[in-house]
Amino acid sequence: MIFGCIADDFTGGSDIASFFVKGGLRTVLFNGVPSDQTIPEVDVCVIALKTRTQDTQEAVKVSLDAIKWLKEQGAQQFYVKYCSTFDSTPEGNIGPISDAVMEELDAPYTILCPALPVNGRTVKNGCLYVHGVPLHESSMKDHPLTPMWDYDLARIMEPQSKFTSMKLPKGLTKEEAEEFIVKVQQENASSPFYIIPDFEKEEDAEQIVQLFGNLILLTGGSGLAEPLAKMYQQNVETDEFGRSNSKVILLSGSCSETTRKQIEAYSQSGGESYFIDPMKLLSGEESVEKIWNVIKNTDESILVYSSDTPENVKLIQEQGKEEVAELLEKTTAELAALAAEAGYHRIIVAGGETSGAVTKRLGFTSYHIGESIAPGVPIMIPTQDTSIRLVLKSGNFGDTDFFLQALSRT
Ligand SMILES: Nc1ncnc2c1ncn2[C@@H]1O[C@H](COP(=O)(O)OP(=O)(O)O)[C@@H](O)[C@H]1O
Ligand SMILES: O=C(O)[C@@H](O)C(=O)COP(=O)(O)O
């Protein structure tokens, strides 16, 4: 195995897996560390965890367990995948997990590389932008669980990591960049550190991969996966599973601006939809059973969502942020399970945490990666049931007509 990767949520895992596949590497996605030791012969193994918002100690523990397992499977290089919008509070887990993995692997240093230019996430002068808007001024400032308060990656890492983060100066040649790194190594004695390379255009990946592609550990979004895979020139074709003609259910717990626009576009195109009102769910006026009845009695495909505006999210969170999130995730996951049992074999979900809850409830442990509906959003086929088509969309990904595209292409 070439790369062993851990992702901090399920959509993050499917996102990076899709780019490794696009780069021509045989890739399998696991939901957590597999208990079955026989894994298929692959070049990349991605383990999706749910560490983004987990208690830090637990998140570090499960991350290290996964890294150790990947080491045992013979992975030669390791990748810690986090969000391209660096979702984490000052107490967040990106620093603690990356620090611990660096130590576990005895990595002298690694890179922080959240950028994914194809989806508008770029790093310039060490600062992260979303479609040209500084991260903390983008809609990420209103994320229900991980609102972003800064865009300077070194500053974001400061309260989280025990190691230094340093911007790689702009415009250096390969030789100058290598000299810079040697100098930083000398200055830091034997302590590990992070380098932040700029990554503004897809072409920038080439130099980043030349400089850092052989490190034992890389950390970042999925922007480097395809160029990294291409270093190995395996050119494996994507598995073909064909379309399904089964019933379809669309579920959304993502409150991102992108998802809300996608929901609006879906409704405007005449698609049936149903809003899960969290307040009614909390009071007991709404329930899984009632929502399931609506789904069952709808002839067409239906989009069931709790997605709402930042103002309404803040209001409902007065009832307890974690409690509300958990209740909504659990409700969505239950609906997905009922639908799967009832023969809805096309399941489309928007939202990273929401998708994590759904996949956990569905219980499939590993996935083939099929074609992508949008960059970073592949169709996934559980290895245990190849009649199922699962599409899990990171909140901020996909074009406005994403739900319609997912319907026509699964
Ligand atoms: N109306 C709502 N009010 C408050 N929280 C919500 C609402 N709808 C969904 N949530 C929660 O917000 C979180 C959204 O996170 P996630 O699913 O990861 O979406 P994204 O990919 O956009 O970040 C989930 O925990 C979800 O349960
Ligand atoms: O890197 C990314 O942007 C995604 O893979 C991702 O992790 C997004 O997280 P969610 O929006 O919570 O799905």
Provide, rounded to the nearest whole percent, the portion of the chain with pLDDT above 90.
76
User: Which residues have C-beta within 8 Å of that of residue 340, sequence separation ≥ 6?
Assistant: 347, 362, 388
**Model ipTM value:** 0.96
- Reference 357, options 385, 378, 326; nearest CA is 326
Output the pLDDT for position 37: 63
Mean pLDDT of 328-336: 97
Mean pLDDT of 196-221: 94
The domains of the chain are located at 3-230, 248-409
Looking at 13-22, 91-100, 228-237, which range is the least confident one? 228-237
Specify the amino acid at residue 141. K
Taking every pair of C-alpha atoms in the chain, what is the biggest distance, in angstroms?
Answer: 68
DSSP lists the bridge partners of residue 218 as: 79
3-state secondary structure of 305: strand
CB 186 within 8 A of CB 100: no
Binned at pLDDT 50, 70 and 90, residue 235 comes out as low
Specify the amino acid at residue 115. A
Q: How far is the CA of 235 from the centre of ligand 1 (A)?
A: 37
CB 224 within 8 A of CB 118: no
Binned at pLDDT 50, 70 and 90, residue 138 comes out as confident
User: Which residues have C-beta within 8 Å of that of residue 67, sequence separation ≥ 6?
Assistant: 4, 6, 78, 101, 104, 105
Provide, rounded to the nearest whole percent, the portion of the chain with pLDDT above 70.
98
The rounded Cα 363 to chain-centroid distance in angstroms is 19
Output the pLDDT for position 241: 76
Task: For residue 71, give Cα distances in angstroms to 105, 106, 119, 214, 300.
Answer: 9, 13, 31, 16, 47
Rounded to a whole number of angstroms, the distance between the first and last alpha carbons of the chain is 30
Q: The tokens of 48 are what?
A: 């999706």
Q: Residue 301 pLDDT more than 70? A: yes
Helix pair 352-362, 321-341: axis angle to 10 deg: 50
3-state secondary structure of 17: helix
Mean pLDDT of 2-15: 95
Q: 44: part of which helix (H) or strand (E)?
A: strand 44-48
Same fold, 3-230 and 248-409: no
pTM comes to 0.89
Q: Residue 150 pLDDT more than 80? A: yes
CATH class, domain 3-230, is alpha beta
Residues with CB under 6 A from ligand 1: 143-145, 253-256, 259, 278, 306-308, 313, 316-317, 324-325, 328-329, 351-354, 394-395
Q: Residue 238 pLDDT more than 80? A: no
Check if 221 has its Cβ closer than 6 Å to any atom of ligand 2.
yes
Q: How far is the CA of 232 from the centre of ligand 1 (A)?
A: 38
Rounded Cα–Cα distance for residues 285 and 290 (Å) = 9
Determine the atom of ligand 1 nearest the C-alpha atom of 259: 22
Q: Residue 11 pLDDT more than 70? A: yes
- Reference 101, options 175, 192, 34; nearest CA is 192
For the chain, helix (H) and strand (E) counts, in that order, are 14, 18
Q: What is the DSSP letter of 139?
A: G
Name which residue leads in pLDDT, 233 or 350.
350
Check if 83 has its Cβ closer than 6 Å to any atom of ligand 2.
yes
Rounded Cα–Cα distance for residues 93 and 87 (Å) = 9
Rounded Cα–Cα distance for residues 34 and 127 (Å) = 36
Output the pLDDT for position 239: 62
Output the pLDDT for position 153: 96
Output the pLDDT for position 353: 87
Q: How far is the CA of 242 from the centre of ligand 1 (A)?
A: 31
> Tokens 């049931």 belong to which residue?
385
**CATH number for the domain running over 248-409:** 3.40.980.20
Average pLDDT, the chain: 92
Task: For residue 156, give Cα distances in angstroms to 34, 142, 148, 240.
Answer: 33, 17, 9, 41
- List pLDDT tens digits, range 115-130: 999 999 999 999 999 9
Determine the atom of ligand 2 nearest the C-alpha atom of 114: 1
Q: How far is the CA of 117 from the centre of ligand 2 (A)?
A: 14
Q: The tokens of 233 are what?
A: 């020139």
